[in-house]
């Protein structure tokens, strides 16, 4: 059966990026399962020729990928925490939030964002499908969470309990939603009349420009442009009335959404400007999407050429970080411990395990100091400035930093 678009139901016929077979990128392998068989799924992104939504075909169920042992905790990045705190301060001032308000975050993870509203005396509620991160949010930050996937049913259940939001936040979750229409349908139910919803997501235009193919993985069902997001919310009675560009995740957008009939929030000039920028970038031209496949291969070859040359020269390459994007990159390029000896990660939920597929071991960052590699390959390249500052001392023994996207770059 031919796949169809998860938003408009049109046939999916145009390939955007075929990255072969890959494991689930956040399924880190415990030592006792090192030799066990691991499921691999096609990692093939298509673009819908009708609505321009870039997407994966759903091979694995979201409830299996976002389990009670989900390994991603937002609070291990200081730059991300600072980003969250700035957003909270901005919204508290802009919306005059106080003890009578309610901020709801969809996919609230470990309370990384809502803690800042709570500290300011603004009531909060998280909606988070992974029980282990929701527990951390409550135990460590006092953030209460509804443990559930968000959609129409969850929104109706909360509304029927008298819960509606003045502000709804959702950071980097829209891409993770398999049933995107059901997800968006919850917004007009849970957001108060006169309220505002904010959604942040990596910008497809930047993904294409910067060859960020490693952000394609099974947990990311959709790859989003402003044009597509605006249309999706309009189809559900909501209006995207403002947008701003953010540097996070290699280039993201934050959109501002109100009920369609909310005349107190007119469209800003930024809406028309972003629509024109995407048109000028060719996001309504199939050739733009078809050219991306060639760029992906070029980036792969550059990384392999660097790693092979380092190996032949007797140099050691280690990696920093164990992000999902790194697993896409390494599995697509066929890189294992013969080319990257190990990686390190600050999260205790990852250290001591192995990367899925490649079986590269994950250690704590002090392993870098004991092994003293010649190169440190930064897998979460979107955090390169933070990581290079944290690990600046490695230059004392001549170690150089390396980033793989959009192509290999050595930072001596």
Q: What is the pLDDT of residues 310-331, one digit of tens each?
A: 999 999 999 999 999 999 999 9
Q: Indicate whether 67 belongs to any domain.
A: no
Q: How confident is the model over 146-198, as pLDDT tens digits?
A: 999 999 999 999 999 999 999 999 999 999 999 999 999 999 999 999 999 99
pLDDT reported for residue 249? 86
Cβ distance 57 to 42 under 8 Å? yes
Predicted TM-score of the model (pTM): 0.90
Q: Is 14 inside a domain boundary?
A: no
Q: State how far the Cα of 155 lies from the Cα of 360, in Å rounded to an integer.
A: 41
Q: Report if residue 182 sits inside a domain.
A: yes
Residue 263: partners with Cβ closer than 8 Å, 6 or more residues away: none
Query: Which of 288, 168, 280, 286 is CA-nearest to residue 233?
Result: 168
pLDDT at 83: 94
Among 253, 286, 319, identify where a domain stops. 286
Q: Give mean pLDDT, residues 70-78.
A: 58
Residue 349 pLDDT? 86
- Same structural domain, 123 and 175: yes
Whether 295 is covered by a domain: the verdict is no
Three-state secondary structure call for residue 145: strand
Same domain, 253 and 360: no
Chain position carrying tokens 């093939």: 44
**Full residue range of the structural domain in which residue 172 is found:** 74-286
Q: For residue 36, tell me if it sits in a domain.
A: no
1 has a pLDDT exceeding 70? no
Looking at the structure, do residues 202 and 120 belong to the same domain, yes or no? Answer: yes
Residues 188 and 259 in one domain: yes
Do 102 and 161 reside in the same domain of the chain? yes
Residue 378 has pLDDT above 70, yes or no: yes
pLDDT confidence of residue 56: 95
Same domain, 233 and 109: yes
**What's residue 73's pLDDT?**
53
CA pair distance 194, 341, nearest whole angstrom: 54
| Residues 201, 310 within the same domain | no
60 phi, psi to nearest 5 deg: -135, 140
Residue 69 pLDDT greater than 60, yes or no: no
Instruction: Name the pLDDT band for 67 (thresholds 50, 70, 90).
Output: very low
Percent with pLDDT over 70 in the chain: 95
Residues 138 and 263 placed together within one structural domain of the fold: yes
Domain boundary among the residues 236, 256, 286 is at 286
Residue 220's contacts (CB-CB under 8 Å, 6 or more residues apart) are 56, 175, 176
Q: What pLDDT is attached to residue 88?
A: 98
Q: Assess if residue 28 is contained within a domain.
A: no
Residue 70 pLDDT more than 50? no
CATH classification of the domain holding 395: 3.40.50.720
Q: What is the average per-residue pLDDT within 245-271?
A: 96
pLDDT at 59: 65
C-alpha to C-alpha distance for 133 and 139, rounded to whole angstroms: 10
pLDDT of residue 359: 98
Q: What is the pLDDT of residues 324-375, one digit of tens each?
A: 999 999 999 999 999 999 999 998 989 999 999 999 999 999 999 999 999 9
Banded model confidence at residue 60, pLDDT cuts 50, 70, 90: low
162 lies in the same domain as 266: yes
The residue from 224, 257, 286 where one domain ends is 286
Structure tokens at 124: 């909060």
CB 137 within 8 A of CB 109: yes
Q: How far apart are alpha carbons 385 and 388 in whole angstroms?
A: 5
Q: What's residue 76's pLDDT?
A: 60
Same domain, 243 and 374: no
Q: Which residues of 50-76 are buried (b: 16+ CB within 10 A; e: fewer)?
A: ebbbbbbbeeeebeebbeeebbbbbbb
Whether pLDDT at 289 is above 90: yes
Decide if 277 is inside a domain.
Answer: yes
How many residues comprise the chain?
Answer: 412
Q: What is the pLDDT of residue 74?
A: 52
Instruction: Read off the CATH number of the domain in which 94 is found.
Output: 3.40.50.150
141 close to 115: Cβ distance less than 8 angstroms: yes
Instruction: Report yes or no on 268 lying in a domain.
Output: yes
**Number of domain units in the chain:** 2
Q: Are residues 174 and 278 in the same domain?
A: yes
Torsion of CA 146, 152, 156, 157, to 10 degrees: -30
Same structural domain for residues 319 and 178?
Answer: no
Longest dimension (CA), the chain: 66
């Amino acid at each position: 059966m031919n796949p169809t678009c998860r938003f408009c139901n049109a046939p999916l016929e145009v390939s955007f990026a075929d990255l072969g077979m890959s494991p689930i990128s956040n399924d880190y392998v415990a030592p006792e399962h090192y030799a066990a068989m691991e499921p691999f799924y096609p990692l093939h992104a298509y673009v819908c020729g009708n609505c321009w939504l870039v997407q994966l075909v759903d091979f694995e169920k979201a409830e299996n990928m976002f389990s009670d042992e989900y390994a991603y905790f937002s609070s291990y990045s200081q730059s991300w925490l600072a980003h969250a705190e700035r957003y909270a301060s901005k919204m508290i001032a802009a919306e005059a939030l106080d003890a009578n308000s309610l901020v709801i975050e969809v996919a609230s993870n470990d309370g990384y964002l809502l803690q800042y509203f709570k500290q300011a005396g603004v009531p909060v509620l998280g909606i988070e499908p992974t029980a282990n991160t929701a527990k951390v949010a409550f135990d460590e930050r006092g953030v209460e969470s509804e443990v559930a996937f968000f959609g129409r049913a969850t929104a109706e259940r909360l509304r029927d309990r008298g819960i509606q939001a003045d502000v709804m936040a959702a950071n980097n979750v829209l891409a993770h939603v398999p049933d995107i229409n059901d997800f968006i349908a919850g917004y007009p139910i849970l957001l108060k009349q006169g309220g505002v919803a904010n959604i942040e997501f990596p910008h497809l235009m930047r993904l294409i420009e910067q060859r960020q193919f490693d952000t394609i993985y099974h947990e990311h069902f959709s790859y989003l442009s402003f044009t597509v997001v605006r249309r999706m919310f309009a189809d559900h009675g909501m209006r995207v009335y403002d947008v701003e560009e953010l540097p996070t995740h290699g280039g993201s957008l934050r959109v501002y959404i109100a009920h369609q009939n909310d005349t107190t929030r007119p469209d800003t000039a930024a809406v028309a400007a972003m629509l024109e920028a995407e048109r000028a970038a060719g996001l309504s031209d199939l050739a733009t999407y078809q050219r991306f496949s060639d760029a992906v291969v070029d980036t792969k070859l550059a990384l392999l050429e660097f790693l092979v040359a380092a190996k032949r020269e007797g140099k050691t390459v280690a990696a920093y970080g164990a992000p999902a994007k790194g697993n896409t990159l390494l599995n697509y390029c066929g890189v294992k411990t013969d080319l990257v000896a190990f990686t390190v990660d600050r999260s205790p939920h990852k250290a001591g395990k192995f990367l899925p597929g490649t079986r590269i071991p994950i250690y704590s960052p002090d392993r870098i100091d004991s092994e003293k590699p010649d190169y440190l390959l930064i897998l979460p390249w979107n955090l390169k400035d933070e990581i290079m500052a944290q690990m600046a001392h490695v230059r004392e023994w001549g170690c150089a930093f390396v980033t793989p996207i959009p192509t290999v770059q050595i930072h001596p």
